[in-house]
Amino acid sequence: MATWTLVVSAIAGLIGLLTAFVNFGTIFFNYRHGVKPFNTDGCVQLNVPGGCEDIVIHAPSHTAFLACGRLDLRTQWFPPLERLIKLTAESDAVYKYHLKSGELVPLTFVNFTGIYRSHGLTIYEHPASEAGTVTVMLVNHGHPDHSSVEIFDHRLDSNTLIHVRTITDPLIRTPNAVVALSPRSFFLTNDFYHRLPGPMRTLEKMTSRAWTDVVVYQPAVEGREALHSSEVRRAYGGLVYANGIDIDHDRGLVFVASATGRRVTVFDMDPDTLELTLRMVLKDLPILPDNLRVDHATGDIYAAGIMRPIEVVTPAHGDHFHPDAKIAWGVVRLSANSISDNRVQGVAKHMPIGDVNRAANATLLLAHPGPWLNLASVAVLDPDNHRVMVGSVVSEGVGLCPI
């Protein structure tokens, strides 16, 4: 009996390994040709110092918030890209961009003495009784031993971010994106199980292991009895490279991008317990989706991501940050109708990444071969100017592209 158990286990392990490498081949070699510019002729660049990995728009005030990192700092310390050379005392920046006037304003940290190294960003609009105030939450990689979420309060008529608290926890391992649920609570994605570079992280990355998760922070001080023993807990696991996260206008649906999985997973959220229940999965996207941004007027989801993953694994000139390296990217819009109807439009299996002819639930809006906006990571709709703002991890500035 024991012998048969070992044989079955060995066969299962071999099947799992073969499946992993089939997935690897599908993700990293599934393209037919190089990416050509698509609908990007009208794009212009907003000159912002550094690469702006995440952008959120506060529609009532016609303001975009940008989390941006200096490229010289990122080449030395940026854990998501396994840059762990040297963490200096200099911080990245958060900007406000006024959609109507075009004014770009850096925000000043108040009561924050740590180092800020940017990644994900979210805002929470306070109720009408506190009009003119938002909460800003930032994923921060500014500590050598761990990452955190920093919570700030911000008055829209000011240029300051007033620090409220720092959230750290063993469950906040490799934070990527964050979405605010209240002024003091949030969902967060961990994009890797293994934080430090090494054989296991490489295996996880190259074989698309479903080892990542969504965690929730819900402090007991919000006027309700504690529903769980810990303020930070795992909300949902078993995801492939959990990346961007956002919530719909009615705060009932949560969307999570799985980058190397080429999918967006849709969850129903219980408003009282914040429990997540799987609703559906939007598969076979023409990009590897990074951050997600919901247009609250239509419910559509906008996502940016790379289109030829092999260019990330083996970047030209050996470095993502090299100005001549080319990493093709695209922007997609996911239809709200297919989500609200609880159905997925027919998407052909094994469709090459970057194919323009997609099903109705995933429309490719923009594509570019690079090096402009290499590793594009976010696309957010600017309703005032009928365009999308496209941010990048390793390229200066933000793209402003009409659609």
H-run or E-run covering 303: strand 301-306
Our answer to whether residue 98 is catalytic in this structure is no
Q: Are 67 and 54 in contact (CB under 8 A)?
A: yes
Q: Are 372 and 399 in contact (CB under 8 A)?
A: yes
Residue 337 marked as a ligand binder: no
User: How crowded is the C-beta side of 149, counted as CA atoms within 13 Å?
Assistant: 34
Residue 375 marked as a ligand binder: no
Residue 355 marked as a ligand binder: no
H-run or E-run covering 10: helix 2-29
Q: How many CB atoms lie within 10 A of CB 285?
A: 26
Residue 341 marked as a ligand binder: no
Amino acid at 113: T
Single out the catalytic residue among 119, 141, 154, 368. 119
Residue 290 marked as a ligand binder: yes
Residue 361 marked as a ligand binder: no
Q: Is 205 helix (H, G, I), strand (E, B) or coil?
A: helix
**What distance in Å separates the CA atoms of residue 61 and residue 157, rounded to the nearest whole number?**
10
Q: Is 43 helix (H, G, I), strand (E, B) or coil?
A: coil
Amino acid at 351: M
Whole-angstrom CA distances from 195 to 95, 204, 323, 393 are: 28, 11, 27, 19
**What distance in Å separates the CA atoms of residue 236 and residue 230, rounded to the nearest whole number?**
15
Q: Among all chains, which residue has been given the structure tokens 């030829």?
A: 308
* DSSP classification of residue 397: B
Strand partners, 390: 379, 399
Annotated binding site: 54, 121, 176, 243, 290-291
Q: Known catalytic residues?
A: 119
Annotated binding site for Ca(2+): 54, 121, 176, 243, 290-291
